[in-house]
């Protein structure tokens, strides 16, 4: 059996740069950032059973991340207003690159690899007026900044590559923020949208909800293999209004809003933190750490049920169902049959789980 040391030695002897694939770090299925018990922060690799395959330290609290499609390399994004993103070698924990947004720009917490991992795209905003931008980074050239596109809105947050590999979908949250903190500046006039860009940066389609829902910030995205887009929202309007927090959209069609019964909707506290389609694609779920709840919906938007779990936020497809993580260190498997504990790690899982 080849030891890891011998494997590394072989690579070095062959003169290859040690750019290892995900197999070298235990074939994680997921990436998740967390706060460790000592108060420090780290990025974890998790396998399908919730087991930790690797753990590398982070210098500060992260938000989301992106995993390179082939190499054991992850980009961890700072929380908003983000001044850094780190490219990490998940085998060694070494920081390979420090990415900083250009002068007067801020990272907004999410990014995605495109073109087979040759290009990284980051959601950003102009510090002065929160105008949304998509930053472009040439991965092969050592993550060199090569340009940016207009995101088609204010305060973009999540962004994803569509299954065609040629379209980007962006959640323009609509919220303008203070350049130095998260103070929201434009709640009365905010106007979020969902924007589709082709890989030249041209706007292909934009989707807005009715004016009564403009205070519903579109923030997180999940994509099904057939191109169905799920978007999760966070309500900035009056408390107790219980608006829908999930929308489903198919290119060229009107969005479908998914609502839970009033009592369940109120218990979500107007806030969805993460979204994912189930592994079999038949369901879509959102989490609310404020409400300590996960809501499951059918693909047509019909409410299927709730799972209660304190501080739950991270969400990804697992098996036919879902994997949920929470601030108490819990990893929970959720299926149509119910929820069961999968594991518990002595840490506080952060907002998102990234599927590799």
CB-nearer residue toward another protein: 81 or 136: 81
3-state secondary structure 286-328: EEECCCCEEEEEECCCCEEEEEECCCEEEEEEECCEEEEEECC
CB-nearer residue toward another protein: 252 or 263: 263
Per the CB < 8 A criterion, the answer to whether 301 and 244 are in contact is no
Run of H or E residues at 39: none
Say what the alpha-carbon torsion angle 233, 237, 241, 243 is, to the nearest 10 degrees. -20
- Smallest distance from the beta carbon of 347 to another protein, in angstroms? 9
Write out the binding residues for another protein, residues 229-248 only, by CB under 8 A. Answer: 234, 238-241
CB-nearer residue toward another protein: 136 or 324: 324
CB-nearer residue toward another protein: 89 or 132: 132
Tokens of 167: 């379209």
Tokens of 118: 């040759």
Residue 320 as a binder of another protein (CB under 8 A): the answer is no
Q: Which of 186, 329, 335, 355 binds another protein (CB under 8 A)?
A: 329
CB atoms within 10 A of CB 280: 12
Query: Could you give the strand order of the β-sheet that contains 41-46, starting from the edge strand earlier in sequence?
Result: 52-58, 41-46, 30-35, 348-355
Write out the binding residues for another protein, residues 174-233 only, by CB under 8 A. Answer: 182, 219
Q: Which of 42, 348, 353, 356 binds another protein (CB under 8 A)?
A: 348
Binding window for another protein (CB under 8 A); candidates: 1-9, 222-230, 250-258, 343-351: 343-351
CB-nearer residue toward another protein: 30 or 271: 271
Q: What is the DSSP string of 110-123?
A: EEEEEGGGTEEEEE
Q: Which of 28, 45, 67, 109 binds another protein (CB under 8 A)?
A: 109
Residue 318 as a binder of another protein (CB under 8 A): the answer is no
- Smallest distance from the beta carbon of 113 to another protein, in angstroms? 21
- Smallest distance from the beta carbon of 25 to another protein, in angstroms? 17
What contacts 259, CB < 8 A, 6 or more positions away?
Answer: 244, 265, 301, 303
Tokens of 243: 């608006």
DSSP 82: B
Q: Which of 290, 303, 305, 335 binds another protein (CB under 8 A)?
A: 290
Write out the binding residues for another protein, residues 35-94 only, by CB under 8 A. Answer: 35, 51-52, 63, 79-80
CB atoms within 10 A of CB 303: 16
Q: Which of 65, 111, 156, 289 binds another protein (CB under 8 A)?
A: 289
Per the CB < 8 A criterion, the answer to whether 70 and 98 are in contact is no
Binding site for another protein (CB under 8 A): 35, 51-52, 63, 79-80, 109, 157, 182, 219, 234, 238-241, 261-264, 266-267, 271, 273, 289-290, 292-293, 306-313, 326-330, 332, 338-341, 343-346, 348-351
């Amino acid at each position: 059996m080849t030891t890891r040391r011998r494997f590394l030695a072989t690579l070095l002897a062959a003169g290859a740069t040690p750019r290892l694939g995900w197999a070298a770090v235990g074939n994680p299925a997921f990436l998740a950032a967390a706060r460790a018990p000592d108060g420090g922060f780290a990025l974890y690799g998790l396998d399908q059973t919730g087991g930790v395959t690797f753990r590398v330290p982070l210098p500060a609290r992260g938000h989301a991340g992106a995993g390179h499609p082939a190499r054991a390399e992850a980009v961890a994004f700072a929380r908003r207003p983000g001044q850094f993103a780190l490219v990490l070698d998940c085998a060694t924990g070494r920081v390979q690159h420090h990415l900083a947004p250009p002068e007067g720009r801020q990272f907004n917490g999410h990014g995605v690899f495109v073109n087979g991992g040759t290009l990284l795209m980051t959601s950003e905003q102009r510090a002065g007026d929160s105008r949304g931008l998509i930053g472009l980074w040439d991965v092969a050239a050592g993550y060199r900044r090569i340009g940016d596109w207009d995101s088609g809105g204010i305060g973009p947050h999540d962004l994803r590559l569509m299954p065609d590999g040629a379209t980007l979908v962006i959640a323009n949250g609509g919220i303008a923020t203070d350049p130095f903190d998260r103070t929201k500046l434009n709640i009365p006039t905010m106007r979020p949208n969902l924007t589709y860009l082709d890989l030249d940066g041209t706007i292909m389609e934009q989707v807005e909800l009715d004016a009564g829902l403009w205070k519903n910030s579109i923030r997180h995205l999940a994509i099904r293999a057939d191109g169905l887009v799920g978007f999760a929202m966070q309500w900035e309007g009056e408390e107790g209004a219980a608006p829908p927090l999930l929308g489903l959209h198919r290119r060229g069609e009107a969005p479908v809003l998914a609502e839970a019964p009033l009592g369940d909707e109120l218990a979500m506290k107007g806030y969805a933190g993460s979204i994912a389609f189930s592994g079999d694609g038949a369901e879509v779920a959102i989490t609310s750490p404020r409400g300590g709840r996960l809501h499951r919906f059918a693909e047509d938007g019909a409410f299927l049920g709730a799972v209660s779990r304190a501080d739950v936020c991270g969400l990804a497809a697992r098996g036919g169902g879902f994997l949920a993580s929470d601030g108490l260190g819990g990893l929970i498997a959720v299926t149509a049959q119910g929820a069961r504990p999968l594991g518990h790690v002595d840490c506080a899982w952060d907002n998102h789980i990234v599927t590799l």
